[in-house]
C-alpha cells in the first residue's frame, strides 16, 4: 500500500522534472491548459509511436509462422505483459482488454449473468458512472435482484454500516467505484473488499477515475474484478478489466462455443484485442520506468506517490481559491488531503448555469467541462440540476501551478 503525506507538500517532488514530463506529451505544447483529464488524458509520445510502428510495419494477423506475424504477436504480448505489470496482476491471463470500460462491464455482466441464479443479489452504488450500474440492473430481467448502496449525503461517503444492512446470504457481487468521477473521493477498496469477502460475496471495482492518480495493486487489495481505461492513463483508447484467474475460468464464455473453460482471457474477449493499441501499452509502463529513474525512487508505487503529492499541491491551490468565493459550493471534500481525494474537483455557483463557465474559459484557452459525467444518479441524489450538473476541473500530474493560476484568473475575469 502507498504511504502518502497527509498535509499538502510545500514543494512538489515533480517540480524539477516538469519540463521532461511535459515534453513527453506533444499536446501540452499547445496554448491550452487542459483541465478535462478525467474525461481523457493527453497521450504519451511513446504510446503514439508504438501505435504507428505496429501499423506501419507489423499490421498482419497473429498466429502465423512467418516472421512478421511472429513479431506482431510478440509486440501484442509485450503490451499485455505491460498491462499486467501496471496493475500488479499475478498472471497476464487475468488481463482482459476491450474497446471501452462500458463495453467490458457489459461483457462481464453478460457472462456472469448466466452464472447467477434468480434470487441472487447484486449491490451497486448511486455514486458510480452509469457503466457500473446499468449493466448490472439490466440483469433484473433474469430474476437477479439489484440493490442500491446509497451515499451518505452528509459526509458524501459510502458507509460500511449501510452496506452491511443491504447484504444477505444471497448477495453475490458488490459493485462500487474506487474514486467518484464527480466527487473525487477515494473509497477504501481494501477495507470494503475485506468486508464483502467476509460476508461471502465478491467485488467489482470501477477504477477509471483512480488509475491516473495512484498505483493499482490488485493483489494487495484482493479484489475479484477491477476496471479502468487506458485513455485516461496517458495511453490509447482501450480499457482493461482484471479478474482473478480462478474467477475467470469459472465464468461462461461469451466468445466461440468451442473454447475450453481455461481459454482466458480470449473467451471474454470476443473479436480479440485491438492489436496496435495493445502493443502501445508498454509505452505507458516505459514512461513510468523513466520517471522512476529520474526521481531516484525504488518503485513505480513511489512514482505514483510523487504524482499524489504534486496533484495535492495543485488541488490545494484551486480549492483554497474556491473557498474564498461565497457563491461557490464545492461538491466533495474541500481539503486537498491525498488520502481522501484525487484532484478531480467539482463545484456549482449560485445563480450561474454550469454550462456558462466552460464556454467562457474556452476564450482563455483553459479547458474544463460541465455536466453529470454519467454519474446521473449521484447528481439526482445530491439534488443538482440534471441537465447542467457541475463544473468539473480535473487535473493530472503534468499540470502546473501556473496553469491553475490561469484557471483562477479566468474565473476572476468571468466575475466569480
Q: Which three cell numbers stand for residue 89?
A: 496482476
Query: Is residue 286 classed exposed, middle or buried when 0-12, 13-18 and 19+ CB atoms within 10 A define those classes?
Result: middle
Intervals of the chain under pLDDT 70: 1-11
Q: What is the side-by-side order of every strand in the sheet holding 344-349?
A: 328-331, 344-349, 390-394, 369-371
Nearest C-alpha neighbor of 15 from the set 261, 307, 356: 307
Partners of 345 in the beta sheet?
A: 393
The pLDDT value recorded for residue 385 is 85
Angle separating helix axes 45-57 and 282-295, nearest 10 degrees:
140
The pLDDT value recorded for residue 8 is 44
Q: Which three cell numbers stand for residue 36?
A: 478535462
Nearest C-alpha neighbor of 332 from the set 387, 374, 392, 385: 392
| All domains of the chain in start order, with CATH | 15-43+299-414 (3.90.1150.10), 48-284 (3.40.640.10)
Sequence-distant (≥ 6) Cβ neighbours of residue 26 within 8 angstroms:
45, 48
Q: What is the CA radius of gyration of the chain?
A: 21
CA distance 211 to 194: 21
The SS3 call for residue 393 is: strand
The pLDDT value recorded for residue 10 is 52
CA distance 57 to 68: 8
CA distance 351 to 52: 48
Sequence-distant (≥ 6) Cβ neighbours of residue 56 within 8 angstroms:
none
Q: Where are the beta strands (DSSP E) in 119-264?
A: 121-125, 145-149, 171-177, 202-206, 225-229, 239-243
Helices (H), 199-299: 218-221, 245-250, 275-279, 282-295
pLDDT tens, residue by residue, 105-129: 999 999 999 989 999 999 999 999 9
Are residues 205 and 158 in contact, defined by beta-carbon separation less than 8 angstroms?
no
Distance of CA 160 to the CA centre of its chain: 22
Are residues 249 and 78 in contact, defined by beta-carbon separation less than 8 angstroms?
no
The pLDDT value recorded for residue 208 is 98
Amino acid at each position: 500500500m502507498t504511504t502518502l503525506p497527509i498535509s499538502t507538500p510545500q514543494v512538489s517532488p515533480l517540480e524539477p522534472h516538469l519540463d521532461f514530463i511535459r515534453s513527453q506529451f506533444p499536446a501540452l505544447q499547445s496554448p491550452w491548459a487542459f483541465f478535462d483529464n478525467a474525461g481523457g488524458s493527453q497521450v504519451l509520445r511513446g504510446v503514439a509511436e508504438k501505435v504507428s510502428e505496429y501499423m506501419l510495419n507489423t499490421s498482419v494477423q497473429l498466429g502465423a509462422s512467418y516472421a512478421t506475424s511472429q513479431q506482431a504477436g510478440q509486440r501484442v504480448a509485450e503490451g499485455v505483459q505491460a498491462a499486467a505489470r501496471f496493475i500488479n496482476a499475478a498472471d497476464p491471463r487475468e488481463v482482459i482488454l476491450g474497446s471501452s470500460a462500458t463495453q467490458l462491464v457489459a461483457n462481464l455482466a453478460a457472462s456472469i449473468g448466466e452464472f447467477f441464479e434468480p434470487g441472487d443479489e447484486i449491490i451497486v452504488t448511486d455514486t458510480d458512472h452509469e457503466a457500473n450500474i446499468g449493466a448490472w440492473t439490466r440483469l433484473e430481467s433474469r430474476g437477479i435482484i439489484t440493490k442500491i448502496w446509497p451515499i451518505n449525503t452528509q459526509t458524501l461517503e459510502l458507509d460500511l454500516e449501510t452496506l452491511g444492512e443491504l447484504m444477505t446470504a444471497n448477495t453475490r457481487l458488490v459493485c462500487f467505484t474506487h474514486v467518484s468521477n464527480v466527487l473525487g473521493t477515494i473509497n477504501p477498496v481494501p477495507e470494503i473488499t475485506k468486508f464483502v469477502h467476509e460476508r461471502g460475496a465478491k467485488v467489482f471495482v470501477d477504477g477509471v477515475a483512480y488509475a491516473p492518480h495512484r498505483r493499482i495493486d490488485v493483489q494487495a487489495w484482493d479484489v475479484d474484478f477491477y476496471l479502468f481505461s487506458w485513455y485516461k492513463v496517458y495511453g490509447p483508447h482501450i480499457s482493461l478489466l482484471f479478474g482473478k484467474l480462478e474467477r475467470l475460468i469459472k465464468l461462461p464464455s461469451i466468445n466461440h462455443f468451442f473454447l475450453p473453460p481455461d481459454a482466458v482471457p480470449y473467451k471474454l474477449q470476443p473479436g480479440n484485442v485491438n492489436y496496435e493499441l495493445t502493443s502501445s501499452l508498454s509505452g505507458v509502463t516505459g514512461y513510468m520506468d523513466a520517471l522512476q529513474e529520474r526521481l531516484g525512487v525504488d518503485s513505480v508505487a513511489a512514482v505514483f506517490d510523487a504524482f499524489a503529492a504534486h496533484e495535492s499541491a495543485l488541488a490545494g491551490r484551486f480549492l483554497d481559491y474556491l473557498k474564498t468565493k461565497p457563491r461557490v459550493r464545492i461538491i466533495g471534500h474541500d481539503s486537498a488531503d491525498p488520502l481522501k481525494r484525487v484532484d478531480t474537483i467539482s463545484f456549482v455557483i449560485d445563480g450561474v448555469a454550469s454550462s456558462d463557465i466552460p464556454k467562457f474559459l474556452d476564450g482563455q484557452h483553459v479547458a474544463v467541462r460541465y455536466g453529470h459525467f454519467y454519474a446521473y444518479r449521484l447528481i439526482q441524489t445530491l439534488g443538482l440540476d440534471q441537465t447542467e450538473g457541475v463544473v468539473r476541473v480535473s487535473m493530472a500530474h503534468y499540470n502546473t501551478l501556473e496553469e491553475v493560476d490561469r484557471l483562477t484568473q479566468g474565473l476572476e475575469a468571468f466575475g466569480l
